[in-house]
A and B are shown apart, each in its own frame.
Chain A
Amino acid sequence: MHEMSLCEGVLRVIEEQAAAQDYHTVKAVWLEVGALAGVEVEALRFGFDVVMKESIAEGARLEVVDVPGQAWCMPCMKNVAIEQRFDPCPECGGHQLQVNGGEELRIKELEVI
């Protein structure tokens, strides 16, 4: 359940940015979540609502932007799509994959007042 601490991280960023970006209320948060980021989106949603209570983002909408998993296949010499970390290359079936996408866990955008 590290989703709770991730949500605390989100709140910290939101609060830190408030002065610089001149806002006092957050209505929505767009969060990029990679397929390989090790995050359970349902747990994230639950944690988000709880952590944002009594903050400048209380009741804010959480918009999850899914980022698909991607890896560089050494034998194929190209990027391939993967769903999980231990998936084989969908083209050659090998496991010599270097993950290079889908590990994101990033606040992309906010809707603020």
Chain B
Amino acid sequence: MCTDCGCGTNKVTIDGRHHHAHDPHIGDSRKVRIEIDILAKNNEYAASNRTFFAKRGILALNLVSSPGSGKTSLLTRTVDDLKSTISVAVIEGDQQTANDAERIRATGVSAVQINTGKGCHLDAHMVGHALEKRAPQTNSILFIENVGNLVCPAEFDLGEAHKVAILSVTEGEDKPIKYPDMFHAADVMLLNKIDLLPYLEFDVDQCIAYAKRVNPNIEIIQVSAAKGDGLKKWYAWIDAHRSIVAKRDKKEG
């Protein structure tokens, strides 16, 4: 029954049509206040991942970069170098293929591959499922390699302790200001492939200045995954942040 006039729908017709417009029922519509963050759902999942990590003293790092920055090579080298001293686990995010997880597994370290299909980023829900599939050990380091994309992953908290942005010197030095959201969200930037600097016109100081402009607190470490330059500093950074997680864990426990 029509609530405007009480008529039964479609019973009275004028020129073959109902005698007044039923759709839209403008008189019936009302406004409701919602005030809900669109990312709220993702943030809930992220919070539950964060609790999961905190309870187990896991340092979770979310690695973000454009495709081709050498992120997987850097990660493979990192887990290979660290695995003898500390337990490490990896979650790999790519649209398709398990190639990256296989590269990690070749080092003997466990890796879960998430394929996002059409998705351009990992979200906290996917990571939660990966944790269910294979939970990292207590007091370990979990590297989450995000989909190669400097835009979308900036918006999606996975529950990580830090975002680590990787930028290689074969890209433009102005990437931090071209993709400011990502460099703003990251706590540390690894400037990779520095062994290639002699062959390139890449202004390191300018790049660092751009990154600092977008994020005054960002730490910058220059590395070469291929030649090993700067990796000690990167591992020292990981170690320092690991002890923070471990201390926090002790306090809360």
**Assuming the A-B contacts A27-B24, A112-B29, A112-B31, are A86 and B38 also in contact, with contact meaning beta carbons closer than 8 angstroms in the complex?**
no
B205 at the interface (CB under 8 A from A): no
- Please determine whether A109 and B120 come into contact, CB atoms closer than 8 angstroms: no
Near A by CB (< 8 A), chain B positions 151-180 give 151-152, 154-156, 176-177, 180
- Please determine whether B151 and A2 come into contact, CB atoms closer than 8 angstroms: yes
Question: 13 A-B residue contacts at CB 8 Å?
Answer: A2-B151, A2-B156, A13-B36, A17-B34, A23-B32, A31-B38, A38-B154, A85-B184, A106-B36, A107-B34, A109-B34, A111-B30, A113-B24
Interface 0/1 of A93-106, CB less than 8 Å to B: 00110010000111
Interface residues of B (CB under 8 A from A): 24-25, 28-42, 119-121, 123, 151-152, 154-156, 176-177, 180-181, 184, 210, 212-214, 216
Interface residues on A, range: 20 to 34
A55 at the interface (CB under 8 A from B): no
- Please determine whether A112 and B37 come into contact, CB atoms closer than 8 angstroms: no
Mostly, the A contact residues are: mixed
Nearest residue (CB) in B for A97 is B216
Partner of B214, one of A85, A105, A106: A85
